[in-house]
A and B are shown apart, each in its own frame.
Chain A
């Protein structure tokens, strides 16, 4: 069974801290995605990666960076956390199974920036 894990379910950080959110998938998928989810706004794409060391900006990349040094691991970095980055962060991994394209989500990290 596909598994996407995220390093923390809940995280509290202070303004200005550097924050690392990690995502690991165990199915050798090429494409991985980072979203944030806010009430009334749905899921918004921050960054995605289609291969090791390859990354592309999504719709809201400002204030974030990413790293993909190994195929199974995709990290989201908040260089200097701000209160407006308080949100639910969801990582997804893409798979093609049974002819169906599916983004399979991790459990999410609820980040609070004080």
Chain B
């Protein structure tokens, strides 16, 4: 069974701090990884994608991928209360652009 694992949280960080969200995956065939943000009662929206080992930065967000360790992470710098949401990690699996999602990590940024 192919899986993507995330700590459910909640992860609580103070405003302005760095939030670090982590994810591991079991399918060594996965090549592409995605971070979605989901506010309560809303649908997921894509915030970062990463395909190669290393870091990818976009504004306050940095995604990190280590295929040897089967590990993906998302760093959020200068965290804001508006970043409070559930963050879903996903990896591609089995063609047709299918994704396997983790259960999500709930992030709470407190003022």
Residue-wise, chain A 34-49 has the 8 Å CB interface mask toward B (1 for contact) of: 0100001111110010
- Please encode chain A, from 51 to 84, with 1 for each CB lying within 8 Å of some chain B CB and 0 for all others: 0000010100000000000000000000000000
In which size bucket is the chain A interface? 20 to 34
The A contact surface, by secondary structure, is: strand
Is A43 in contact with B96, judged by CB distance below 8 angstroms? Answer: no
Q: Contact: A42 with B97, CB < 8 Å?
A: no
User: CA A3 – CA B6 in complex, angstroms?
Assistant: 29
Q: How far is the CA of A95 from the CA of B56 in the complex (A)?
A: 21
Does A8 make an interface contact (CB < 8 A)? no
Q: How large is the interface on B (under 10, 10 to 19, 20 to 34, 35 or more residues)?
A: 20 to 34
**Contact between chains at A42 and B43 (CB < 8 Å):** no
Query: Bound complex: CA of A107 vs CA of B96, how far in Å?
Result: 22
Question: A2-26: contact bitstring with B at CB < 8 Å (1 yes, 0 no)?
Answer: 0000000000000000000000000
Given known A94-B97, A101-B49, A102-B46, contact A40–B103 (CB-CB < 8 A): yes
Contacts of B43 in A (CB 8 A): 90, 105-108
B44→A48 contact, CB < 8 A? no
Residues of B within 8 A of A31 (CB): 96-97
B101 CB, nearest partner CB in chain A, Å: 4
Q: Which residues of A contact B42 (CB under 8 A)?
A: 107-108
Chain A residues near B34: list those with CB within 8 A: 102-103
Instruction: Mark A residues whose CB is within 8 Å of B.
Output: 31, 33, 35, 40-45, 48, 50, 56, 58, 90, 94, 100-108
Q: 6 smallest A-B Cβ distances: which pairs?
A: A42-B103, A105-B43, A43-B101, A94-B97, A42-B101, A108-B43
Can you name 22 A-B pairs with beta carbons within 8 Å?
A33-B98, A35-B101, A40-B8, A41-B103, A42-B4, A42-B101, A42-B102, A43-B44, A43-B88, A43-B101, A48-B96, A48-B98, A58-B98, A101-B49, A102-B49, A103-B34, A103-B97, A105-B43, A105-B44, A105-B45, A106-B43, A108-B43
